[in-house]
């Protein structure tokens, strides 16, 4: 056999190729991925004269207001202990916002005038959570909120004056109502209830003076979700999967309890919501998610608006995040997989588009990685969708991989900018995000396939995706980590129980470890849903054998994988005891587990400095095991 001589020019060429790839990839500072944005959450006043946004003040997100056409903004709030969770314009002169205490999720509603005066807490009651039922955009001084003040397990609706905080209960929740619907005049006309523990019921009344009457009872596995009333306040615009697998946009008559028209249905994906014009009283679009967000247009006018914006802004996802009452001034939001996006002010009369703010100017698109859709087949033949993000400038071959399992579990991963994914890809890891069975948006049958399958076929979908990466040559079999939060944390722990040699590292973020104790410590307002959870997750008594087999803390003797656990001390959904159990079980065996607890956090770390600590520790942990 003739030997090939390796010349100096060949070595030089190889070095140049390596240097060219490395030159493309700058290690971006960790803080750039996880710091609070300079400005975000733009809204517009109903009269279109002001816009507002959230920005950091002493590392906490606060509210600022700026007159359109002016350069200077006024700071309205000065919260320093915790970020404001969300806000909106109540009328032209007043803004309302929600904030909790240390992550306990008992949100209180605050109000402040546009000039910064008259700041007051409107619902500061101990151990009470505030829900926004309807901000009543067409009724200037009132809104409808829900409070679990009378009974911690249920929310009663109140009509509240946004200026004074005065309120009156407009219905008493009998104990089973989970949601309320108002008409276009702000009247409370419909409700959702759970009956017999596992059946959904829609209640209806013609006027607020009448009693609610049940009009439709179905299994909770079926959806008839009212979006809003038709513009004559007679029927419902809704999304429904009654008699079909995928939810469709429909018109539903509450007097006959029947669908009277199917407006749009997609053969592959659920319709998730509808939008409409308050000014013109017409439907705009139906929305669904394939691998990207999609619209089906009902309004030619709205279609022209979006297509005009797309022609000006290029290849980004475009959303209308706010608009004034005249629907002439819009806040437009762009987004993508490699950008935090930007906010624009659009004057439709003048056809003038003006950049307000680039959300993450420190992030450069050409330095970030593309998020690509993938599909694979589970062991039982079910088709699973997901996403794969490769480190920039690297071939999809023999890479260290982080399997990132989403929470919920009845949620889904979607295409778009994900700071975790981009951070990990920047550090040289491929990131795999499987939408395992139970993930939403793929129809009723796919969702129901997850029932009582925690740690079983749901886990198999994640495992099968991991083996698919190995078979395809994408993953280095010796350098695969698994990571997730909430349910994703559970799947992380269960993954290293059932496949103790598949993963070389694991990161559990606020994850469930013991199905018995998890079901015993759910928040009080989840109690009416307990029978449904028994059917979806399992019953601790009837399914005790299964729970024992699929609770990682009870099977910790099988774990061999290095583990890092992070937990918020005030988490109301996944109690701190969940993390304590798995850590204690492993430490009893003499296994060193890295454990981070933040005393001022709940279900996920909201405070900026805590996010930095968590991802800094994760980076070091992964680097030590799969880099």
Q: Please state the rounded mean pLDDT for residues 2-13.
A: 47
Nearest to 531 by CA among 194, 225, 216: 194
pLDDT at 524: 81
CA distance 64 to 75: 4
Look at 15-29, 99-113, 206-220, 468-482 and tell me which has the smallest mean pLDDT: 15-29
Using N-to-C axis directions, what is the helix angle for 608-626 and 419-426, rounded to 10°? 40
**CB half-sphere exposure, 573, CA atoms < 13 A:** 18
Q: Which residue has the higher pLDDT, 216 or 571?
A: 216
Listed in sequence order, the residues at least 6 apart from 67 whose beta carbon sits closer than 8 Å to its beta carbon are 49, 50
Residue 330 has pLDDT above 90, yes or no: yes
Are 72 and 52 spatial neighbours (Cβ–Cβ below 8 Å)? Answer: no
pLDDT at 138: 83
Pairing state between β 167-169 and 177-182 = unpaired
pLDDT digits (tens, 9 = 90+) for 119-162: 999 999 999 999 999 999 888 899 999 999 999 989 999 999 99
Hunting for tokens 């100017």 — which residue is that?
Answer: 361
Residue 490 has pLDDT above 80, yes or no: yes
Q: Give the torsion through C-alpha atoms of 210, 216, 220, 223, to 10 deg.
A: -100
Listed in sequence order, the residues at least 6 apart from 153 whose beta carbon sits closer than 8 Å to its beta carbon are 175, 524, 525, 527, 528
Please provide the distance, in angstroms rounded to a whole number, between the alpha carbons at the two ends of the chain: 37
Are 89 and 44 spatial neighbours (Cβ–Cβ below 8 Å)? Answer: yes
Handedness of CA 571, 575, 577, 583 (dihedral sign): negative
Using N-to-C axis directions, what is the helix angle for 457-471 and 487-498, rounded to 10°? 70
Hunting for tokens 């409370």 — which residue is that?
Answer: 188
> Which ranges of 449-513 does DSSP label H, i.e. alpha helix?
457-471, 487-498
The tokens for 359 are 């959300």
User: Which residues, listed in sequence order, are joined to residue 63 by a DSSP beta bridge?
Assistant: 54
Residue 349 has pLDDT above 90, yes or no: yes
* Phi and psi at residue 539, to the nearest 5°: -100, 125
pLDDT at 24: 59
Nearest to 483 by CA among 557, 531, 433: 433
Look at 70-79, 190-199, 334-343 and tell me which has the smallest mean pLDDT: 190-199
User: Within 10 Å of residue 277's Cβ, how many Cβ atoms?
Assistant: 15
Listed in sequence order, the residues at least 6 apart from 580 whose beta carbon sits closer than 8 Å to its beta carbon are none
- DSSP characters for 166-201? -EEE-----S-EEEEEE-TTS-EEEEEEEETTTEEE
pLDDT at 5: 47
pLDDT at 107: 94
Q: Is 512 exposed, middle or buried (0-12, 13-18, 19+ CB in 10 A)?
A: buried
Length of the chain in terms of residues written: 627
CA distance 330 to 318: 12
H/E stretch holding 18: helix 8-24
CA distance 193 to 171: 14
Nearest to 367 by CA among 27, 60, 91: 27
Nearest to 200 by CA among 223, 213, 218: 218
Q: Where in the chain is the domain with CATH 2.130.10.120?
A: 33-358
- DSSP characters for 506-564? EEEES----HHHHHHS--GGGGGGHHHHHHHT--TTTTHHHHHHS-GGGGGGG--S-EE
pLDDT digits (tens, 9 = 90+) for 384-417: 999 999 999 999 999 999 999 999 999 999 999 9
pLDDT at 196: 84
User: Within 10 Å of residue 256's Cβ, how many Cβ atoms?
Assistant: 10
CA distance 67 to 45: 10
CA distance 141 to 120: 15
User: Within 10 Å of residue 88's Cβ, how many Cβ atoms?
Assistant: 16
pLDDT digits (tens, 9 = 90+) for 548-593: 999 999 999 999 999 999 999 998 889 999 999 999 999 999 888 9
- Considering the entire predicted model, what is its pTM? 0.89
For the chain, state the CA radius of gyration. Answer: 26
- Average pLDDT over the chain reads 93
Q: Is the peptide bond between 409 and the residue preceding it cis, with omega within 30 degrees of 0?
A: yes
Pairing state between β 86-91 and 258-264 = unpaired
CA distance 344 to 353: 7
Q: How confident is the model at residue 13 (pLDDT cuts 50, 70, 90)?
A: low
Q: Is 625 exposed, middle or buried (0-12, 13-18, 19+ CB in 10 A)?
A: middle
Q: Which residue has the higher pLDDT, 590 or 429?
A: 429
Q: Where in the chain is the domain with CATH 3.40.50.1820?
A: 380-626
Residue 417: helix, strand or coil by DSSP?
A: coil
User: Within 10 Å of residue 255's Cβ, how many Cβ atoms?
Assistant: 10
CA distance 204 to 189: 6
The tokens for 463 are 């495992």
Spell out a b/e string for 544-559, using b for 16 or more CB atoms within 10 Å of the CB, else e. eebbeebbbbbbbeeb
User: Which residues, listed in sequence order, are joined to residue 521 by a DSSP beta bridge?
Assistant: none
Handedness of CA 489, 494, 499, 504 (dihedral sign): positive
Topology of domain 380-626, CATH: Rossmann fold (3.40.50)
Please tell me the CATH superfamily of domain 33-358, with its number. Answer: Prolyl oligopeptidase, N-terminal domain (2.130.10.120)
Nearest to 259 by CA among 220, 219, 298, 216: 216
The tokens for 117 are 């005066």
**CB half-sphere exposure, 220, CA atoms < 13 A:** 19
The tokens for 537 are 């997750």
Residue 260 has pLDDT above 70, yes or no: yes
pLDDT at 378: 98
Sheet of 120-121, strands arranged across: 86-91, 94-99, 108-113, 120-121
């Amino acid at each position: 056999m003739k030997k090939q001589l390796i010349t100096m020019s060949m070595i030089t060429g190889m070095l140049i190729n390596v240097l060219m790839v490395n030159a493309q990839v700058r290690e971006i500072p960790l803080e750039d991925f996880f710091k609070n944005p300079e400005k975000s959450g733009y809204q517009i006043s109903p009269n279109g004269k002001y816009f507002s946004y959230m920005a950091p003040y002493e590392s906490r997100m606060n509210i600022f207001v700026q007159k359109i056409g002016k350069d200077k903004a006024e700071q309205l709030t000065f919260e320093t202990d915790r970020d404001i969770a969300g806000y909106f314009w109540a009328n032209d002169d007043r803004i309302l916002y929600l904030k909790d205490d240390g992550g306990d999720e008992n949100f209180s509603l605050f109000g402040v005038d546009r000039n910064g005066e008259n700041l007051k807490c409107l619902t500061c009651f101990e151990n009470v959570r505030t829900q926004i039922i309807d901000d009543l955009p067409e009724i200037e001084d009132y809104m409808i909120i829900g409070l679990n003040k009378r009974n911690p397990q249920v929310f009663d609706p109140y009509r509240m004056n946004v200026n004074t905080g005065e309120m009156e209960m407009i219905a008493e929740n009998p104990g089973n109502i989970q949601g309320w619907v108002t008409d276009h005049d702000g009247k409370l006309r419909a409700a959702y209830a759970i009956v017999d523990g596992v059946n959904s019921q829609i209640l209806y009344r013609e006027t607020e003076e009448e009693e609610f009457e049940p009009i439709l009872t179905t299994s909770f596995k079926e959806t008839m979700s009212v979006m809003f009333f038709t513009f004559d306040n007679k029927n419902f615009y809704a999304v429904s999967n009654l008699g079909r697998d995928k939810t469709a946009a429909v018109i539903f008559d509450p007097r006959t309890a029947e669908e009277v028209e199917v407006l749009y249905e997609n053969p592959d994906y659920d319709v998730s919501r509808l939008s409409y014009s308050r000014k013109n009283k017409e439907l705009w679009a139906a929305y669904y998610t394939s691998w990207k967000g999609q619209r089906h247009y009902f309004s030619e006018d709205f279609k022209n608006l979006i297509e005009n914006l797309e022609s000006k802004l290029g290849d980004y996802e475009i959303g209308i995040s706010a608009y004034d009452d005249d629907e002439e001034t819009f806040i437009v939001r762009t987004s993508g997989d490699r950008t935090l996006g930007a906010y624009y002010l659009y004057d439709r009369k003048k056809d003038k588009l003006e950049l307000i703010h680039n959300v993450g100017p420190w992030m450069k698109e050409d330095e970030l990685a593309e998020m690509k859709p993938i599909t694979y087949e589970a062991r039982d033949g079910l088709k699973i969708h997901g996403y794969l993000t490769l480190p920039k400038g690297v071939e999809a071959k023999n890479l260290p991989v982080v399997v990132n399992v989403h929470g919920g579990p009845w949620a889904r991963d979607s295409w778009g900018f994900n700071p975790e994914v981009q951070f990990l890809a920047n550090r040289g890891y491929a990131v795999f995000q499987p939408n395992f069975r139970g993930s939403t948006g793929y129809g009723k049958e796919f969702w129901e396939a997850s029932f009582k399958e925690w740690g079983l076929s749901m886990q198999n979908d994640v495992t099968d995706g991991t083996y698919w990466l190995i078979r395809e040559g994408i993953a280095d079999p010796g350098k695969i980590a698994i990571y997730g939060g909430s349910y994703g944390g559970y799947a992380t722990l269960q993954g290293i129980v059932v496949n103790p040699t598949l993963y070389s590292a694991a990161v559990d973020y606020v994850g469930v470890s013991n199905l018995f104790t998890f079901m015993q410590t759910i928040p009080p307002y989840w109690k009416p849903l307990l029978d449904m959870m028994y059917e979806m997750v399992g019953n601790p008594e009837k399914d005790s054998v299964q729970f024992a087999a699929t609770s990682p803390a009870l099977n910790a003797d099988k774990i061999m994988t290095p583990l890092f656990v992070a937990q918020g001390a005030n988490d109301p959904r996944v109690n701190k005891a969940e993390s304590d159990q798995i850590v204690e079980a492993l430490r009893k065996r003499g296994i060193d587990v890295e454990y981070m607890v933040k005393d001022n956090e709940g279900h996920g770390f909201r405070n900026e400095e805590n996010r930095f600590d968590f991802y800094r520790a994760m980076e070091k942990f992964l680097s030590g095991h799969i880099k």
